[in-house]
Amino acid sequence: MLWTPGISRRSLFVASAVGAAGALLPVAARPAAAKSKGRASCGSYRATYHFTVPDQWKNDPQRPVWIDGEYHYYYLYNPDYLTGGTTAGTAWRLATSTDLVSFTDRGIAVPKDTTPNGDVWSGSAVVDTDNTAGFGAGAVIVLATMSPDDNANTQAQYLFYSTDGGRTFTHHGTAPVLPNPGVRDFRDPKVIRDEERGRWVMALAENNKVGFYHSTDLKSWTYVSGFIKDGIGVLECPDLFRITAEGGTRKWVLGVSANGKASGLPSTYAYWTGTFDGTTFTADAPDPQWLDHGWDWYAAVTFEKRDANGTLDPAARYAIGWLNHWDYANTTPTIDCDGFNGTDSIVREITLKRAASGTYYLASQPVAALDAHVSRTVNLGDLEVDGQRVLEYTGTAYELTTEIAWDQLTGAGLQLRRSTDGVRHIDAGIYGDYAFVNRGYTVSPDSSGRWRESRTPFDPSARTVRLRILIDRTSVEMFVDDGRYVHSSEAFPDPADTGIALFTIDGGAVFRNTVIREFRL
């Protein structure tokens, strides 16, 4: 669960510990105009080891697919962003990768405005191995939403096909393969192959419902059931997959991007574990869990984990999310400084685990291939802290891992991207019965001041916590213990803010096996 508190006792401690007069710094206003054509005189904000769009704009990731020994990662791309803004429409751009850390840009794959239906929104790509659609065995088929006049009542699903391994696509006429039945929200088709029953299944976002459809040829679709959930906003970007848990139990997972901020919940990726009989999804519990609890992990997708030979791992999947939010999508210094707006989370590996209560949950960790891109390791060992300890290390992009252990205290954590005077920083750690990330002491995209701190439950009786924190030029991602709880958020620290400080509140702690790793792509 998330909260948006005022100035807490912990906030006052952290502020006073760095000489900030006992009050939160105001969250900075928007640092750059969305339609700026020039470059400001500033240091680079382009991420060092996260995926960024080469230029202009990106938003929703599209589920990567394994083709010819590499992942094909498509994403929504607006080549006219700097002149037309977000309303100028999107195409699908392609990047390929063998390790999901280093990507090669391949340009636009599904162009916009090639038919009267306009630009191309979110959807999914599949490899039609058995030629069910008639475009040839192995053709890559994209089902995506288009709306000819951007009217919500005209959203419909259209088909594109590729016969060159997913590099370029041709539209299958101008008529939708799944027309709009006259509803407001009807988008983001996610298609999977149901091998057991010899058909395709589509999950479609329909306001407060995920609709399920069947097809044998990817061209004609029949509605078969729906999963309804109210209270977390409009459901978007649905996801449906099966995964094998610890102990061999197989579970189906239904995911959606949803906005639970009004209820004190995340606005990221909500999911339910349950069963799916090919037609109906039945959830284990009515309320969802969340794959991320930060402010900026939206439109996320999960996808198959395969080894170098293409062998599928049934016990794990990968996931990637857009490190931004529609609340402040155009607010970023990367526009003026680097000529782009669009950064993704690190790719993470997710597994299904069973809690002591018997419930199942997804746990996340950064993709293991990061290990092959380490350029420098700083092993700081065990560090004793009682109050505050400023480290000698400085940097703008790195990973920090540590296990904090204590006998008795109220809170402990780190100040990251800390300014020389100690006034500006991003805070991450635990306090009482919650873990947190707070971006309110540095430049943030949120001018309202409401979305400063994200929180997740924490059991203080454990007296230990493992933190793995990925810092890059405009982001922070914190993985707590086994990764059941993750906090991913945008932040825009000054490039000159490179320090780190450790802190404890009402007691001492040992930051065990503290290691910093830097990466080079």
Across 446-493, the runs of DSSP E, i.e. the strands, are 453-457, 464-472, 475-480, 485-490
Catalytic site residue from 60, 185, 296, 344: 60
- Please answer whether residues 98 and 70 qualify as being in contact, where contact means their C-beta atoms are separated by less than 8 angstroms: yes
Return the residue matching tokens 């306001």.
Answer: 207
Is residue 433 annotated as part of the catalytic site, yes or no? no
Q: Which residues are paired to 171 by β-bridges?
A: 160
Residues contacting 285, CB < 8 A, separation 6+: 272, 273, 359
SS3 of residue 300 by DSSP: strand
The structure tokens listed for 223 are 């509605």
Report the alpha-carbon distance of residue 218 to residue 231 in Å, rounded: 32
Cβ atoms of residues 185 and 234 within 8 Å = yes
Q: How far is CA 495 from CA 281, 341, 397, in A?
A: 47, 17, 10
Helix, coil or strand: residue 303:
strand
Q: How far is CA 509 from CA 139, 190, 463, 503, in A?
A: 57, 47, 9, 9
Q: Where does 323-373 show beta strands of DSSP type E?
A: 340-341, 348-354, 360-366
- Phi/psi class of residue 177: alpha, beta or left (left: φ > 0; alpha: ψ in -120 to 50)? alpha
CA neighbor of 51 nearest in space, from 321, 314, 307, 252: 321
Residue 481: which residues within 8 A CB-CB, separation 6 or more? 465, 466
CB 97, CB 104: distance < 8 Å: yes
* Close Cβ partners of 260 (under 8 Å, ≥ 6 residues apart): 2, 231, 232, 233, 266, 267, 270, 290
Contacts of 371 by beta carbon, 8 Å cutoff, 6+ apart: none
C-alpha span between 504 and 226 (Å, rounded): 49
Per-residue burial over 393-412, b = 16 or more CB atoms within 10 Å of its CB, e = otherwise = eebbbbbbebbbbbeebbbb
Contacts for 183 with CB less than 8 Å, ≥ 6 apart:
153, 206, 207
448 exposure class (CB count in 10 Å sphere: 0-12, 13-18, 19+): exposed
Could you list the active site residues?
60
